[in-house]
């Protein structure tokens, strides 16, 4: 085999790139994967895995403390060092040899270095060894480089050496105090994690928390953070940041000052496209490349952008979903096979538009899929919203004393299907997939009445939500 010619060249060996490559290889293609960091990408080392590893111990402890009879067996404090060591192990000690082994076992060729597009179906790699290698792709190039933290232009921020999510998830010690700038998922999760681990935490958010979700979600997280002693400043913009004597001071627009040992910036992401050579093929360097539902860049017949880098949805699982479609369609197109790109077909990522699930592992957890009620109304749907207190479900009360939570279903009345769902409360993460299947499957409400939740589980919220919606009578 010519070591510089492949059917497909993938740039970026994160979870998305790995899945594009794997699916294409299973479809019979030869694949090279170019990576300038750790094989496995952000999710494995600096996002999902380490952040959830930091969050799970506090969650398990609270669950035990929340049950009379169990609470007495709990002394109340996490072993911070053990939590950090456990996190290290979930981040594989930031060693990618396990993933490299998988990748090579899957028949993929790993090229370590920084790849850039230097022509049609051509990727030039500045290899880690210091050399250069030109890879030619017979069929396609897939860019799967993800995103990087956006550090906003706040006065003094860069000079204050802020943490990004990468620093926070890989922290070797817990600072005494931490100020978090931002109000999205990363801000909520890391504020929760560091509060769990004993840091004094302040959150500075421009508006509320989790702004794109149902309002009750962010409100519940704010309330609980405050209950636990986290200071949450809402409608507060950081205006200036200074660092001296090891402490960081964040000043807000309205004159408040927060002093902490570290500052974490969690104000969004931008595509990791710098230096990728997109300009060489007529694309903007700093924008999310526009793709069709097969993840092919609009206007190209060989270039794909898959996962976070295309900006459709910045979530690991959705990137992997896109990757399965893209890997399969690249193989199908290479073979001259049938392309199944109708909505919900084999080769498209239709769910990106309709049913993106997301779990925020904050306290309480927030799990949502599909449209929020506001978004559904904006789309002009004939919407009804069914709501119910999760704490009034027997299974939730059994799960934890004084359980507090809330859930809603967003129903498109014209089609009689669920188009969105949100669950807020302790340990709601696993309630979500039922909603995802209902939304994706477009299961009519009339049929959902026959999907009986087992008693007494928390899933009985489904019955309560259907009752809140009301069941049509035949007469």
Task: Kindly tell me which of 260 and 359 has the beta carbon lying closer to a copy of itself.
Answer: 359
Distance (Å, whole) CA 387 – CA 232 = 27
Kindly state the greatest CA–CA separation across the chain.
78
Residues 190-249 that bind a copy of itself (CB under 8 A): none
With respect to a copy of itself, which residue has the nearer C-beta, 126 or 442? 442
Q: How many CB atoms lie within 10 A of CB 24?
A: 29
Residue whose CB is less far from a copy of itself, 110 or 429: 429
Contact range with a copy of itself by CB under 8 A, out of 110-118, 258-266, 273-281, 440-448: 440-448
Name the minimum Å distance from CB 78 to a copy of itself. 5
CB of 456 to a copy of itself, least distance (A): 5
Nearest approach, Cβ of 302 to a copy of itself (angstroms)? 19
Q: Are 384 and 375 in contact (CB under 8 A)?
A: no
| β strands within 219-347, DSSP E | 231-233, 238-244, 247-252, 257-260, 262-265, 269-271, 303-305
How far from 137 is each of 94, 141, 325, CA to CA, in Å? Answer: 30, 6, 19
Q: Which is nearer to a copy of itself, 234 or 443 (CB)?
A: 443
Nearer to a copy of itself, 261 or 451 (CB): 451
Tokens encoding 22: 């794997």
Q: Between residues 375 and 463, which has the closer beta carbon with respect to a copy of itself?
A: 463
Of the candidate spans 103-111, 247-255, 320-328, 383-391, the one that interacts with a copy of itself by CB under 8 A turns out to be: 320-328
User: Is 151 a binder of a copy of itself (CB under 8 A)?
Assistant: no
* Contacts (CB under 8 A) with a copy of itself, residues 361-400: 367, 394-395, 397-399
- Between CA 403 and CA 401 the distance in angstroms is 5
Q: How far is the CB of 62 from a copy of itself (least distance, A)?
A: 9
* Subset of residues 36 to 55 that bind a copy of itself, contact rule: CB under 8 A: 43, 48-49, 52-53
Helix (H) or strand (E) holding 111, with range, is strand 109-119
What tokens appear for 387 in the block?
């709501």
Q: How many angstroms separate the first and last alpha carbons of the chain? A: 72
Residue 229 burial by Cβ neighbours in a 10 Å radius (0-12, 13-18, 19+): exposed
Integer CA distances (angstroms), 274 to 309, 316, 342, in order: 11, 21, 33
Among 4, 5, 78, 114, binds a copy of itself (CB under 8 A): 78
Is 336 marked as binding a ligand?
A: no
Please identify which residue in 4, 36, 86, 114 interacts with a copy of itself, judged by CB under 8 A: 86
Stretch that binds a copy of itself, among 115-123, 289-297, 382-390, 443-451 (CB under 8 A): 443-451
The answer to whether 186 is a known ligand-binding residue is yes
SS3 179: strand
Which stretch in 83-91, 254-262, 288-296, 406-414 sits in contact with a copy of itself by CB under 8 A?
83-91
268 labelled binding-site residue: yes
* 278 DSSP assignment: G
CA dihedral 172, 147, 209, 61 (to 10 degrees): -40
Chain positions 321 to 360 lying near a copy of itself, rule: CB under 8 A, are 321, 324, 328, 331-332, 335, 337-340, 344, 346-347, 350-351, 355-359
Does residue 74 interact with a copy of itself by CB under 8 A? yes
308 in a known ligand binding site: yes
Q: Are the CB atoms for 268 and 181 separated by under 8 Å?
A: no
Residue choice 372, 436, 464, 469 for contact with a copy of itself (CB under 8 A): 436
Q: Which of 4, 5, 36, 66 binds a copy of itself (CB under 8 A)?
A: 66
Residues 414-433 that bind a copy of itself (CB under 8 A): 427, 429-433
User: What span, in angstroms and rounded, lies between the C-alpha atoms of 409 and 315?
Assistant: 22
- Please return the burial class of 137, using the count of CB atoms within 10 Å of its CB with bins 0-12, 13-18 and 19+: buried
> Does residue 70 bind a copy of itself (CB under 8 A)?
yes
Binding residues with a copy of itself: total (CB under 8 A): 102
Choose, by CB under 8 A, the member of 76, 131, 153, 282 that binds a copy of itself: 76
Rounded CA-CA distance 144/154 in Å is 29
Count of CB atoms situated within 10 Å of the CB of 148: 16
Question: Which residues does the annotation place in the binding site for NAD(+)?
Answer: 182-189, 268
């Amino acid at each position: 085999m010519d070591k510089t010619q492949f059917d497909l060249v993938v740039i970026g060996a994160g979870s998305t790139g790995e899945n594009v490559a794997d699916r294409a290889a299973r479809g019979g293609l030869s694949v090279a994967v170019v990576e300038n960091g750790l094989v496995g990408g952000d999710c494995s080392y600096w996002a999902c895995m380490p952040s959830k590893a930091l969050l799970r111990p506090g969650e398990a402890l609270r669950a035990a403390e929340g049950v009379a009879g169990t609470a007495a067996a709990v002394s109340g404090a996490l072993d911070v060092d053990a939590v950090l060591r456990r996190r290290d192990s979930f981040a594989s000690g930031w060693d990618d040899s396990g993933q490299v082994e998988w990748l090579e076992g899957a028949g993929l060729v790993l090229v370590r270095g920084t790849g850039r597009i230097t022509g049609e179906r051509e990727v030039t790699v500045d290899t880690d060894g210091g050399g250069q290698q030109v890879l030619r792709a017979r069929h396609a190039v897939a860019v799967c480089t993800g995103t990087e933290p956006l550090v906003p232009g706040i006065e003094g921020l860069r000079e204050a050496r802020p943490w990004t999510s990468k620093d926070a998830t890989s922290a070797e010690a817990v600072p005494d105090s931490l100020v978090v700038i931002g109000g999205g998922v990363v801000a909520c999760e890391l504020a929760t994690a560091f509060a769990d681990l004993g840091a004094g935490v302040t959150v500075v958010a421009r508006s509320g928390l989790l702004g794109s979700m149902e309002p009750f979600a962010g409100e519940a997280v704010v309330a609980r953070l405050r209950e636990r002693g986290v200071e949450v400043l809402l409608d507060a913009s950081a205006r200036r940041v200074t660092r001296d004597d090891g402490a960081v001071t964040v000043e807000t627009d309205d004159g408040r000052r927060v002093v902490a040992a570290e500052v974490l910036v969690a104000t969004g992401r931008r595509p990791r496209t710098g230096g990728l050579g997109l300009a060489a093929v007529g694309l903007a360097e700093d924008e999310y490349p526009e793709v069709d539902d097969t993840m092919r860049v609009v206007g190209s017949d060989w270039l794909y952008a898959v996962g976070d880098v295309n900006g459709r949805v910045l979530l690991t699982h959705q990137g992997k979903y896109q990757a399965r479609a893209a890997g399969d369609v690249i193989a199908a197109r290479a073979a001259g096979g049938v392309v199944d790109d109708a909505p919900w077909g084999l080769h498209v990522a239709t769910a990106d538009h309709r049913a993106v699930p997301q779990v925020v592992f904050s306290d309480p957890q927030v799990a949502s899929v599909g449209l929020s009620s506001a978004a559904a109304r904006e789309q002009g749907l004939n919407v009804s919203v069914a709501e119910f207190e999760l704490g009034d479900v027997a299974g939730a009360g059994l799960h934890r004393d004084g359980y507090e939570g809330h859930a809603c279903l967003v129903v498109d009345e014209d089609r009689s299907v669920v188009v969105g769902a949100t669950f807020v409360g302790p340990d709601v993460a696993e309630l979500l997939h039922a909603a995802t299947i209902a939304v994706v499957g477009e299961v009519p409400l009339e049929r959902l009445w026959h999907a009986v939740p087992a008693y007494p589980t928390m899933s009985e919220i489904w019955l309560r939500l259907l009752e809140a919606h009301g069941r049509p009578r035949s007469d």
